[in-house]
Amino acid sequence: MKRKVIAAIMAVALIGTCVMGCGSTGDGTGEQTENTEVTLDIAYQYGLAYAPIVIAQEQGLIEEAYKEATGDEVQVNWNQMSSGPDINTGIASGSIQVGFMGIAPAITGVMNNVGYKIFTNLSGQEHGLTTSDASIKSLEDLVGSDKQIALVNIGSFQHIILAKALVNAGLDAHALDANIVAMKHPDGMAALESGSIPCHLTSSPYIHMERENENLYEIPGVKEAFSVEDSFIVGVASTTLNEENPELYQALCDAMAEAIDYINENPKEAAAITCEYDGNDAETELKYMESGYYSTETKGVYDLAVFMAENGFIEKAPEEFSDLVFDNVSGN
């Protein structure tokens, strides 16, 4: 029954009818329907895990790659959204063609035929579960309690790794579902620090900030449930874009690879660019950035999809890795 309930919740979130504002109107190929101007509408979320997005945006890498390949201009519209389900809704409606999100909602979207596949990995990042209540020493202390846990959303990557941590501890994957309160990362951290929420499960840079707060305590299990080198944030592109505008699709892939290379080869310069987006000084940003992992190669994606199917987060597992990704993607 729990599997059916959680699958139903995720399906509702996936196909929600309230589409957030997504920039200009397109036809799913990157072409405007009312004129011949080439556009690309992209959605992304919050946090240091999205650093390559900032680099690509600030340096105009997609525009540069497309012009180099075709001699033409492309208008790229960047839209910041609060959750993977919002991005899924945008792609399903055709109002955006590209999204960057946690691997769990991306897997959910592929398996529910939203109309996209993964075209690149973006990053792996540290996660942790912190609390302001010193009496909470383990996940077991939360099970059966009414203590709330702030995380991005039901069905988010953070929800899935909480489930993995519970299973690793010999508990039911859904034992803490009723404790979850959906909050964006910065709002969750603010609620934790103010005392209005006792627990917060988050990623970089927020987890680093919380670990530095002497009034907060980290609960074991979540940090160990998923490697920092496993895929956390991935990029998804509509199948229409991939099939009908291969030049723009390739420019997108090339630009993200270039942005990731820039971070790995020039971390100080990259941190100086991204720090203002995260509210850190450049030195702190660099420290947080170096705790993560940026690569185009996916890792652990298929295994995570199997876990999600086994625990009712999706109806069925993909038959193979290639069911989740476009042909250019390497990894597992």
Over residues 23-34, mean pLDDT: 46
> Does 241 share its domain with 280?
yes
The per-residue pLDDT for 145 is 96
Q: Is residue 151 domain-resident?
A: yes
33 or 196: which leads in pLDDT? 196
Calculate the average pLDDT of the chain.
88
The per-residue pLDDT for 36 is 59
The per-residue pLDDT for 81 is 83
> Does 153 share its domain with 282?
no
Q: Is residue 332 domain-resident?
A: no
The per-residue pLDDT for 12 is 41
> Does 250 share its domain with 119?
yes
Q: Is residue 328 domain-resident?
A: no
> Does 112 share its domain with 11?
yes
Does 227 score more than 50 pLDDT? yes
Q: Which amino acid is at 33?
A: T
The residue from 225, 253, 279 where one domain ends is: 225
> Does 118 share its domain with 135?
no
> Does 120 share its domain with 234?
yes
> Does 79 share its domain with 149?
no
The residue from 225, 258, 289 where one domain ends is: 225
> Does 190 share its domain with 238?
no
> Does 237 share its domain with 113?
yes
Tens of pLDDT, residue by residue over 102-112, are 899 899 999 99
What CATH number does residue 313 fall under? 3.40.190.10
DSSP symbol at 312: T
Q: Is residue 330 domain-resident?
A: no
**CA-to-CA dists, residue 258 to 31, 61, 310, angstroms:** 24, 8, 36
176 or 21: which leads in pLDDT? 176
The per-residue pLDDT for 85 is 76
Confidence of residue 2 (pLDDT cuts 50, 70, 90): very low
Q: Which domain holds residue 98?
A: 2-125+230-323
Tens of pLDDT, residue by residue over 252-265, are 999 999 999 999 99
> Does 121 share its domain with 238?
yes
The residue from 225, 241, 257 where one domain ends is: 225
The per-residue pLDDT for 33 is 45
The per-residue pLDDT for 88 is 85
> Does 269 share its domain with 313?
yes
> Does 75 share its domain with 185?
no
Over residues 78-87, mean pLDDT: 81
Q: How many domains does the chain have?
A: 2
Q: Is residue 309 domain-resident?
A: yes
Tens of pLDDT, residue by residue over 202-221, are 988 889 899 999 999 999 99
Over residues 48-60, mean pLDDT: 94
Does 140 score more than 70 pLDDT? yes
Count of other CB atoms within 10 angstroms of residue 239 = 16
The per-residue pLDDT for 120 is 98
Q: Is residue 312 domain-resident?
A: yes
* pTM for this entry: 0.83
Closest listed residue to residue 84, CA positions, set 165, 5, 166, 16: 16
Residue appearing with tokens 């449930």: 225
Count of other CB atoms within 10 angstroms of residue 36 = 7
Q: Is residue 256 domain-resident?
A: yes
- Lookup: tokens for 233: 């944030």
Phi/psi of residue 150, nearest 5 degrees: -80, 130
DSSP of 103-154, one letter per residue?
A: HHHHHHHHHTT-SEEEEEEEEE--EEEEES-TT--SGGGTTTS---EEES-T
Q: Is residue 331 domain-resident?
A: no
